[in-house]
């Protein structure tokens, strides 16, 4: 119940995305998430770390367990990249400035329970996602 886990990981190379997935998988399994939720969380982490790598070049992923009235996992993805011009538009399916499917951000939101996107043009982007553990 009182499992505390936290960590952080810089994202600089494509290989770091693989390592990030591994770390997040371990954290989610430790907290007691089921197979499907673990896959959801890992996929979300994969989307957001890839966004850091593709759009910002580098950044950092942090994660920590939440042990309040609800137990859950929070992941924060921070970069000092170009920022998202229109966050609302970016959350729409099919929108992409790169050559992706345009499903990453809206898909991540559906995979997780909570998602906040803070972005400032030229300054960077911080995305916070949460998944609650259902007892």
Partner 1 sequence: MTTQNYDKSRSILGSDESFRLLVDSVADYAIIMLDTKGQVASWNAGAEKNLGYRQNEIIGRHFSCFYSSESVNEGLPEKTLKLATENGRYEYEGWRKRQDGSRFWANTLLSPMLDSQGTLIGFAEITRDFSERKNADYARSLIEASLDPLVTIAPDGKITDVNAATESITGRSRIELIGTDFCDYFTDPEKARNGYQQVFRESMVRDYPLELRHANGRVTSVLYNASVYKDEDGAVVGVFAAARDITERKLSEERIKQQSREILELSTPVMQVWQGVVAVPLIGCLDSQRTQQFMERLLDRIVETNSPVALVDIMGVPTIDTQTAQHLIETITAVRLLGAQVVLTGVRPAIAQTLVHLGIDLSGITTRSSMAAGLLVALDLLKLQVVKKSENHRGD
Contact residues toward partner 1 (CB under 8 A) are 14-15, 17-18, 21, 25, 35-36, 38-40, 42-43, 46-47, 50, 93, 100-101, 103-104, 106-108, 110-111
Q: How far is the CB of 68 from partner 1 (least distance, A)?
A: 25
Q: Please say which residue, 67 or 134, places its beta carbon nearer to partner 1.
A: 134
Q: How far is the CB of 128 from partner 1 (least distance, A)?
A: 18
Query: What CA–CA distances, in Å, run from 133 to 33, 97, 104?
Result: 6, 34, 23
Q: Please say which residue, 85 or 101, places its beta carbon nearer to partner 1.
A: 101
Neighbours of 130 (CB within 10 A): 17
Phi–psi pair at 74, nearest 5 degrees: -115, 135
Q: What is the DSSP string of 82-96?
A: S--S-HHHHTSTT--
Q: How far is the CB of 13 from partner 1 (least distance, A)?
A: 8
Q: How far is the CB of 80 from partner 1 (least distance, A)?
A: 15
Closest CA to 51 of 115, 134, 132: 115
Q: Please say which residue, 69 or 94, places its beta carbon nearer to partner 1.
A: 94
Q: Please say which residue, 65 or 108, places its beta carbon nearer to partner 1.
A: 108
Query: What CA–CA distances, in Å, run from 119 to 21, 78, 109, 124?
Result: 23, 10, 16, 6
């Amino acid at each position: 119940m009182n499992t505390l886990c936290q960590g952080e990981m810089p994202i600089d190379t494509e290989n770091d995305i693989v390592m990030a997935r591994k770390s997040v998988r371990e954290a989610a399994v430790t907290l007691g998430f089921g197979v499907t939720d673990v896959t959801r969380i890992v996929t979300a982490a994969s989307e957001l770390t890839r966004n850091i790598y593709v759009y910002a070049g580098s950044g950092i992923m942090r994660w920590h367990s939440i042990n309040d009235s609800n137990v859950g996992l929070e992941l924060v993805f921070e970069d000092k990249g170009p920022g998202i011009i229109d966050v609302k538009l970016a959350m729409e399916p099919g929108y992409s400035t790169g050559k992706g499917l345009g499903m990453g951000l809206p898909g991540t939101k559906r995979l997780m329970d909570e998602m906040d996107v803070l972005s400032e043009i030229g300054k960077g982007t911080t995305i916070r996602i949460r998944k609650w553990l259902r007892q």
